[in-house]
Amino acid sequence: MNSLVRPVSLLRCPPSLRPILAARLYATETGLGTSNASSRPRRKAVTAFNDDGRVPWGELSGKEKAARATQQTFNFSFIIVGAVLTGGVAYFMYTEVFSLDSKTSHFNRAFDQVRKDSRCTELLGNSKKITAYGEPTWNKWRRARPIASTIRKDQYGTEHLIMHFNVEGPMAKGVVNMHMTKKPSESEFVYKYLALDVKGHQRIYLENADASPESSAKSKTKFFGVSWR
C-alpha cells in the first residue's frame, strides 16, 4: 500500500524537487532492515589446517579454539623433535669426527705418523703421494671406504680401541694395525702398538709398549690428547 502512495505523492510535488525526493526515498528503502551484524563480511571457519592466527582468540568458537590449540601443539612438538634431532647429529659429529678422542682423530694421527716415519717411506715411497683408505667396498672412491675399528671393554674396565686401515704409495702398499688402551684411571688412550705390515718385509713398529715394559709414565709425552711413547 505504501508503495502505491509514495509514487502518487511524488507526482504531486513540483518537478524541480522530484529528483531529490526520489533519491531520499531510495536511500530510505535500501537502508530499512539493515544492521551492523549483517553488514560485517562473513569469515571462513577456522580449522587446524587453515588457521593463520589473524582471527582474535575472543572471536573464535569453542570448536575453533580447539582447532587452534591442536595446531599450536603440533607446531611446538615439531620444533622439539627438530631440536632433539639436531642435538643428536651434533653429538654424533663431535664424538665421531671432531673430538680429540674420536676414531677419526686417531686414524688421522696414525696416518700422519706413518707418513713421517722414514722406515715407512722407504717401503711405500714419497710421503706426499701416500694415501690411506678403509675396507674395499662397491664404491670405487677410496675415501668413501669405511675404516675397520672396534672399541671393547675388558673385565678390568680397560677400553681397547683396535683399528686397521690400508696405505698405498708409489712403491708399495701395506696395512696399518693399531691397538690403543685406556684404563679406568686414565682419561686418554695410550698406544699399545702401531705397526705397518708390507708384504715381503718385516713388520715396522712405530709404537710398541710391550717392547719396553720398564718404561715409566714419565717418559710419555702428550700431544693432541694422545700419550706418545
- For position 202, what pLDDT does the model report? 95
What's the DSSP call for residue 97? I
- For position 17, what pLDDT does the model report? 60
Weakly modelled stretches of the chain, pLDDT under 50: 1, 3-5, 32, 37, 215-220, 223-224, 229
Rounded Cα gap, residues 99 and 224, in angstroms: 10
Question: pTM (2 decimals)?
Answer: 0.55
What's the DSSP call for residue 43? P
- For position 155, what pLDDT does the model report? 93
103-211: CATH number: 3.10.450.320
Instruction: Specify whether the CB–CB gap between 168 and 198 falls below 8 A.
Output: no
Q: What are the residue ranges spanned by the domains of the chain?
A: 45-98, 103-211
Rounded Cα gap, residues 212 and 210, in angstroms: 5
- Looking from the CA of 81 toward its CB, the CA atoms found within 13 Å total 6
- For position 180, what pLDDT does the model report? 93
Rounded Cα gap, residues 132 and 114, in angstroms: 10
- For position 83, what pLDDT does the model report? 86
Q: Cell 582468540 belongs to which residue? A: 57
Q: Cell 676414531 belongs to which residue? A: 103
- For position 218, what pLDDT does the model report? 41
All three cell numbers of 222: 702428550
- For position 12, what pLDDT does the model report? 65
